[in-house]
């Protein structure tokens, strides 16, 4: 907790960057999990999922430390409530990766070959949304130096717009993937179709949480 307190003394956004770094460690494990499913390496999948569970727990602890430590008495350049909302949305990203890991390990899933290409395109696009959100988080301390106005704020809003566009592209891939999945329903168990649909939906939630994180920054810049 002293580490988080020291970060707040340096910048109100440094703890958010620290938390986001842990969230992105979760996100980085998405592709390896799907590769393990594709290759039917289920022991490897479980090991990766266990790493996700561990890193997500670390993100939770950092989030809780930030909540306890956010200064209440001295000046912040944004509303305390907006900072709390921002950290919640970042943490939701890690939660979604954890949910994907949980769903992938409920049973030994077989990834239908006709879906492989689109699945990995979708995973890559969801990762891209998260990476662009991370770029916003990396830029946050610079905003303080610019008093959160002027060219620095405009640049940050431009980064947020890129996140929104990437999330829109992820939505399009999600729709295409759902069409491809249900085109195979006569060849698959109904339970497998529904489980894959949930997994793809949780990936969509991850992208949505990333976009909402950017939207919260836009709100902080407009208040």
Sorted by where each begins, the domain ranges of the chain are 2-221
Q: What is the mean pLDDT of the segment spanning 41-50?
A: 98
Q: How far is Cα 59 from Cα 101, in angstroms, rounded to an integer?
A: 16
**66's tokens:** 């930030």
Number of neighbouring beta carbons within 10 Å of residue 1: 11
Asked: is 2-221 a CATH 3.40.50.2300 domain? The reply is no
162-186 as b/e: b if 16+ CB within 10 A: bbeebbebbeebbeebbeebeeeee
The Cα–Cα gap between 8 and 71 comes to 8
pLDDT at 34 over 50: yes
Which of 204 and 84 is assigned the larger pLDDT? 204
d(CA 18, CA 138): 9
Tokens encoding 24: 């992105």
Instruction: For residues 127 and 24, give the distance between their C-alpha atoms in angstroms, rounded to a whole number.
Output: 9
Percent of the chain with pLDDT over 70: 83
Which residue shows structure tokens 């307190």?
A: 5
**pTM tops 0.85:** yes
**Start-to-end C-alpha separation, the chain:** 29
């Amino acid at each position: 907790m002293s580490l988080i307190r020291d970060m707040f003394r340096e910048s109100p956004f440094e703890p958010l960057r620290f938390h986001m770094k842990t969230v992105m460690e979760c996100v980085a494990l998405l592709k390896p999990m799907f590769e393990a499913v594709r290759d039917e390496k289920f022991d490897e999948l479980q090991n990766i999922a266990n790493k996700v569970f561990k890193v997500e727990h670390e993100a939770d602890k950092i989030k809780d430390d930030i909540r306890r430590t956010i200064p209440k008495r001295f000046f912040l350049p944004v509303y305390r409530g907006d900072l709390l909302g921002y950290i919640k949305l970042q943490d939701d990203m890690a939660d979604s990766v954890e949910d994907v890991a949980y769903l992938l390990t409920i049973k030994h899933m077989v990834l239908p070959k006709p879906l492989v290409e689109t699945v990995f395109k979708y995973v890559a696009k969801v990762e891209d949304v998260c990476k662009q959100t991370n770029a916003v988080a990396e830029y946050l301390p610079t905003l303080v130096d610019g008093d959160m106005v002027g060219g620095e704020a405009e640049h940050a809003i431009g980064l947020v717009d890129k996140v929104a566009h990437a999330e829109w592209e992820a939505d399009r891939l999600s729709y295409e993937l759902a069409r491809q999945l249900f085109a195979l329903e006569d060849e698959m168990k109904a339970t497998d179709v529904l489980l894959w649909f949930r997994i793809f939906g949780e990936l969509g939630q991850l992208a949505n949480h990333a976009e909402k994180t950017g939207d919260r920054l836009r709100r902080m810049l407009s208040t």
